[in-house]
């Protein structure tokens, strides 16, 4: 203590103490300033971070709203499209139903016509002519015999009537002598005598003609033409002409889909412009290989 008292009496010591005190105060002030500065920086950073968070939340909310709006638009568009599809389905179903009703009514009228309850064939029954190449020139071969070697692939138009007095039974008659032969098989048909071939045809004729006449209505049968051409599109074709559409419709109903000689019968309504033009000049040729588009008849 004595020593300390002695120091306090020394002006230099007192000056040094004052300087130390001043330095400590300055240090405290600087520390306080730094603390305040760091706090201010933290406040600013916190405010900035908070503002950025607010901006992010705002953007997320905008994105969410936009996404919800887009989803709503998609749902509304889907609902409109679904409504259109449903309307289209309803329209098609209605068309199918109306078409079925018309067909049922037409079938009823046709049945009534076939049964003799009506004197006139419904006009709708004659509509719906089938064409393979609409707008193109008619195929002269098909117009002549309702058959063409090119079939429906022909570049010209094939017209098939909805109803006619002539029925076509494609390939109903068959015999070995009518088969198409190549150059190495020209003698195969010599195994069959003319009489045998003719007898086979007569058996076929006697088998089918009475039923054709009966199904159409006795006395309604006008022509039965049987092709003996070797060409595939004419080979064995049987053409049957009735006196009336009613008789032809009766026969069509009776024969189409039946079976004969192990084959299912297919019947078509046909148009033959003229039997004279359709038949080959050798009208009574019983068998012979032909490559023309005329009918070699039995």
Residue 166, classed as helix, strand or coil, is strand
Of 117-131, 150-164, 185-199, 208-222, which range is least confident?
185-199
Residue 13, classed as helix, strand or coil, is helix
Eight-class DSSP state of 137: P
**Residue 68 or 289, more confident:** 68
Dihedral (Cα; 85, 87, 90, 96), 10-degree rounding: -80
Q: Is the pLDDT of residue 282 over 50?
A: no
Domains of the chain, CATH where assigned: 128-278 (3.30.70.330)
Residue 35, classed as helix, strand or coil, is helix
Angle at CA of residue 184, ends 182 and 185, nearest 5°: 70
Q: Is the pLDDT of residue 238 over 80?
A: yes
Task: Name, in order, each residue with C-beta under 8 angstroms of 53's C-beta and a sequence gap of 6 or more.
Answer: none
């Amino acid at each position: 203590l004595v020593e300390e008292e002695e120091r306090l009496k020394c002006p230099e010591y007192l000056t040094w103490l004052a300087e130390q005190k001043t330095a400590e105060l300055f240090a405290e002030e600087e520390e306080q300033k730094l603390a305040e500065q760091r706090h201010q920086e933290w406040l600013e950073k916190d405010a900035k971070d908070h503002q950025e968070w607010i901006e992010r939340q705002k953007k997320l909310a905008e994105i969410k709203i936009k996404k919800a709006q887009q989803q709503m638009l998609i749902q509304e568009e889907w609902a409109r499209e679904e409504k259109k599809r449903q309307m289209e389905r309803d329209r098609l179903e209605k068309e199918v139903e109306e078409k079925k009703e018309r067909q049922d009514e037409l079938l009823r009228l046709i049945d009534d016509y076939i049964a003799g309850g009506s004197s006139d064939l419904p006009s709708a029954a004659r509509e719906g002519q089938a064409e393979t190449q609409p707008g193109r020139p008619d195929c002269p071969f098909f117009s002549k015999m309702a058959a063409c070697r090119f079939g429906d692939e022909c570049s010209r138009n094939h017209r098939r009537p909805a109803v006619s007095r002539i029925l076509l039974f494609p390939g109903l008659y068959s015999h070995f002598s009518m088969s198409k032969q190549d150059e190495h098989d020209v003698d195969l048909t010599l195994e069959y005598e003319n009489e045998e071939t003719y007898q086979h045809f007569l058996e076929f004729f006697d088998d089918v003609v009475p039923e054709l006449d009966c199904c159409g209505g006795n006395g309604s049968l006008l022509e039965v033409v049987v092709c003996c051409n070797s060409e595939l599109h004419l080979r064995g074709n049987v053409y049957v002409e009735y006196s009336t559409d009613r008789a032809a419709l009766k026969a069509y109903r009776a024969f189409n889909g039946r079976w004969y000689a192990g084959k299912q019968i297919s019947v078509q309504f046909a148009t033959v412009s003229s039997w004279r033009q359709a038949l080959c000049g050798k009208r009574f040729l019983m068998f012979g290989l032909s490559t023309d588009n005329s009918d070699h008849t039995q």
